[in-house]
Structure 1
Amino acid sequence: MSWKTDPVTLRYFVAVCEEGAIAHAAEREFIAASAISKRIAEMEADIGTPLLLRSQRGVVPTVAGKALLRHARHVLQGIDHMHAEMREHGQGARGVVRVLANISSIAGSLPDTLTAFLLAHPKIRVEVDAPVSAEIVRGVAEGEADIGICRDVVDTSGLEVFPHHPDHLMLAVLRTHPLASQTQVDFVDTLRYEQIGVNTNSPITAMQVRMAANLGHELQFRLRVATIDAALRAVKGGLGLVLLPRETLRHYGGIEDLRIIALRDEWTRRHLLLCVRRVNDLSPAARLLFDALRASAAQDEPELGTQG
């Protein structure tokens, strides 16, 4: 095989895979579809294997194409980082940082950290998406994102991982609730009281139901709601108690009239992790944000559930 590729062809190939059609990739890259098709066909001939499966509905990468897509993203990311670092020497840090973050961090400390960071670095833009933790790890590993914030329940092999914030599940109750005088309770102690469920398909709700079943209880939610705000309003209205992540409660306003109580059960002890492919390979902009996120973890506040 005498294959010699170039970054431009790799960029076109990535665009085709992401768009699912050569015509759409051509529009995105401002080039004729025939030119992209020719480049990819020549690359396939040089490599000696098809990279795309073509049909009337569009194109998808073959097994070889998926491997090339993964490597191409890494190569292009490296080039982008090189350009960004060179610009930094003359213009200061700038660029786009892509973050995949657990929904709990988005509802918690991340917005405050990003606000302070972006005010301090006006030439940097940050793009945040919120997939599940397994997709966060995959996205970082495959170069789709610079930084990930995920739960500690997924396999992060191959990534550099750092502790971020504790994110234990906590109990929120009205101050007149029978459990309000407790500083810690067992999950089983909550099952005799009305409960509020947040998002039927959420991992927390599924875990509550499973753990209740393990204790011989069929958990029946008095009310299921779609948002955290609605759940806390229901608690304030005296409809029941709710289990929510520490990070969410720590940054949620208007809970002064509620008691936040820790749970003793091991399964409620959760942590958020910060993950990257390689710290030393981060672009200057991404490294600045990474350092800001690490600093926010170092300044973490005391545990909730101990206040009077």
Structure 2
Amino acid sequence: MHYGLIDLRLFVAIAELKNLTRGAERVHLAPSSASHRIRLLEASIGTPLLLREARGVKLTRAGELLLRHARQVFAQLEQMHADLSPYAKGVRGHVRLWANTHATHTFLPDSLSAFLRCYPQVSITLEEHTSPEVVMAVVRGEVEVGVVAESVEGVDVELIPYRADRLVLITPADHPLAGRTSTSFVEVLDFPFVMLHSGSAIHTFTMNAAAALGRHLEVRIQVRSFEAVCRMVSAGVGLGMVPGSAIPDDTTRSSLAILELQESWAQRDLKVCVKNRELLSGFAASLVESLTGKPLT
């Protein structure tokens, strides 16, 4: 296939405006040139992309598919420019950091803010993954530094203590369980839950914990942050399972009951994960020291 970014930008403009002439104007092309490019694009792909109508154009099924992919291409290009721009501005270092949901939403914002104040010449890419995914990425060398709550058996990595925390169950203040101080996980599986979004590390962990008991968790609603979980639970939507450190110290807390979970896996001590600390690049080593408070000796 022979086409370029100009052709894709033109196609997206025409598709969004539903008009070839206005689409051509958006990308600063003459209508005749735009029409020629679209014909060549269709010939290159091997199928019609637009249906010409009296008052504009309409996408074919292939055109709808191309539009979705073209938008993804331009989104990736924008992300590439965003990732590269710090270097053009004089940033001299970059560290990729993967972490589980717990660390990403609780402790890392303050930790990374403190690190970046000390190292303004460094940029960080932070991605959220499950702990096993983080460990394996460190082993493969995809990232130098990870933050996890569990390791992978048989994998040789260094785990350095970062923060101690524990998962707790939260219920509305007027819930039948609210008068208790602790509970087992199996005792609450008949109640609906508020969860972080599907694909988040803690969502995967919780669903697997229920499956290990031969049960299915009823998820009433999924949200994007621990704060939203707490607010939904306080409003009576369902139960939630969150790190104790994620419960806000505000009016929401007063409308929640907090129960200790009796499971051993509820203890979620976070650790910094590296393949070999002595072989870390300079800024990655500095980040590990900042997170753990333990200088390399």
Deviation of 1:239 (Å): 2.0
> Would you say 1:160 and 2:144 are equivalent positions?
no
Measure the CA separation in 2 of the matches of 1:135 and 1:194.
28
2:183 corresponds to which residue? 185
Pick closer, same or farther for the CA change 1:100–1:171 going to 2, 3 Å: same
Gaps of 5+ in 2: 1-90
- Three-state SS of the structure 1 residue aligned to 2:95 is strand
* CA distance in 2: counterparts of 1:95 and 1:205, whole angstroms: 33
* Cα deviation digits, residues 14-70 of structure 1 (max 9, x gap): xxxxxxxxxxxxxxxxxxxxxxxxxxxxxxxxxxxxxxxxxxxxxxxxxxxxxxxxx
Which residue number corresponds to residue 18 of structure 1? none
Deviation at 1:250? 4.8
Supply the AA of the counterpart residue of 2:105: A
Instruction: Name the counterpart of 1:256.
Output: 253
TM-score norm. by structure 1 comes to: 0.56
Distance across 2 between alignment mates of 1:161 and 1:293? 12
From 170, 176, 180, the counterpart of 1:172: 170
- 1:65-90 deviation digits (Å, cap 9, x = unpaired): xxxxxxxxxxxxxxxxxxxxxxxxxx
Matched, 1:195 2:228: no
Query: Which of 256, 262, 266 is matched with 2:264 structurally?
Result: 266
The separation in 2 between residues aligned to 1:186 and 1:126, in whole angstroms, is 39
Alignment of 1:225 onto 2:209 = no
| Alignment match of 1:143 (pick from 132, 141, 144) | 141
Q: 1:155 to 1:250 in 2, by over 3 A?
A: farther
CA deviations on 1:90-136 (whole Å, 9 max, x unpaired) are xxx95222211112211110011001111122122222222333332
- Mapped to 2, the partners of 1:140 and 1:218 lie a distance apart of 32
Identity %: 31
Instruction: List alignment gaps of at least 5 residues for structure 1.
Output: 1-92, 297-308
Measure, in 1, the Cα distance between the counterparts of 2:125 and 2:216.
41
Match of 2:253, SS?
Answer: coil
Q: CA deviation at 1:294?
A: 0.5
State the SS of the aligned residue for 1:256.
helix
Alpha-carbon shift at residue 187 of structure 1 (Å)? 1.8
C-alpha distance in 2 between matches for 1:217 and 1:198: 19
Q: Which has the higher contact order (CA 8 A, sep 6+)?
A: 1
User: Quick one: which amino acid aligns to residue 226 of structure 1?
Assistant: V
Shift of 1:251: 6.6
Alignment-derived partner of residue 98 in structure 2: 100
| Paired letter, 2:224 | T
Q: Please give the TM-score of this superposition, normalised by the length of structure 2.
A: 0.58
Query: What is the rounded CA distance, in whole Å, between the counterparts of 2:282 and 2:133 in structure 1?
Result: 25
Residues in 2 aligned to 1:212 and 1:269: alpha-carbon distance in whole angstroms: 17
Deviation at 1:201, TM superposition (A): 4.8
Query: How many corresponding residue pairs?
Result: 202
